[in-house]
Amino acid sequence: MALVIRVLLVDDDALVRAGLSMMLDGVGDIAVVAEAGDGREALTAADAHRPDVVLMDLQMPNVDGIAATGRLRARPRPPEVIVLTTFDTDENVLRALRAGAAGFLLKDTPPAQIAEAVARVAAGDPILSPAITRRLMARTVAQAGAYERARTALAALTPREHEVAVLVGSGDTNAEIATALAMNVTTVKSHVSSILTKLALDNRTQIALLAHDADLV
């Protein structure tokens, strides 16, 4: 029997939550286990329902989506977080990725793609492929000192880990990386885990941000 992906919806618009809930509950291996109207409620709901994935709005009262994402990701066995936003140029999206979000989606993303995104991040494969995500991550290169800091950090990796980090930054899945580097998926996962540990990062998205900072992709 396939495992059901437990989802927490966080948005201060009840209509948005209702629409997402109706859509996701129609997918066989996804179940919406709770909803929250702001980041503070999200933290409480996450404790009570232990979701696998949180769909997180950014602009909310009390505790906003960025702060809530950071607090969730700092917990033991944290859920994956996908940020939902209306504005593809919002600087807060990049801040949310740095807080540990696995990626982000625009609120007008087709339902099938939202469901696919939930399944992907639940499987440990953050959403790095949309063009808008790449554009936002690439903008960090312009930040003062980001290039040198990224290059210095990546210098701590072995040559093979460096190759894996670059491909993660390109948005490749574990299977695609395995094919490109002629190794098995288990070995790729081991390299990714080693990169995260060496660089004190939370997830693949942050590896990708570092690769973009270093101007490697």
Query: Could you read off the pLDDT tens digit of each residue along the chain, which spans 217 residues?
Result: 458 999 999 999 999 999 999 999 888 899 999 999 999 999 999 999 999 999 999 889 899 999 999 999 999 889 999 988 876 555 777 788 888 998 888 888 888 889 999 998 998 887 754 555 566 655 654 555 678 888 999 999 999 999 999 999 888 889 999 999 999 999 999 999 999 999 999 888 899 889 988 888 7
State which of 84, 102, 127 marks the end of a domain.
127
Burial class (CB in 10 A: 0-12, 13-18, 19+), 205: buried
Residue 64 lies in a domain: yes
Do 64 and 104 lie in one domain? The reply is yes
Token couple for 177: 């990386």
CB of 81 closer than 8 Å to CB of 73: yes
Considering the domain architecture, whether residues 83 and 9 belong to the same structural domain is answered as: yes
CATH of the domain at 34: 3.40.50.2300
Domain boundary among 75, 92, 127: 127
Is 146 found in the same domain as 82? no
181 and 118 in one domain? no
11 and 47 in one domain?
yes
Do 25 and 121 lie in a common domain? yes
Is 133 a domain residue?
no
For the chain, the domain total comes to 2
Inter-CA distances, 129 with 13, 64, 83, 101, 161, Å:
27, 25, 15, 15, 21
Q: Are 33 and 92 part of one and the same domain?
A: yes
Domain containing residue 145: CATH number: 1.10.10.10
What is the C-alpha to C-alpha distance for residues 213 and 215, in angstroms, rounded to an integer?
Answer: 5
Say if residue 120 is in the same domain as residue 182: no
Query: Which among 169, 161, 167 is positioned nearest to 187, based on CA atoms?
Result: 161
User: By residue range, what is the domain housing residue 90?
Assistant: 5-127
Domain end residue (candidates: 127, 159, 189):
127
Please state the pTM of the whole predicted model: 0.69
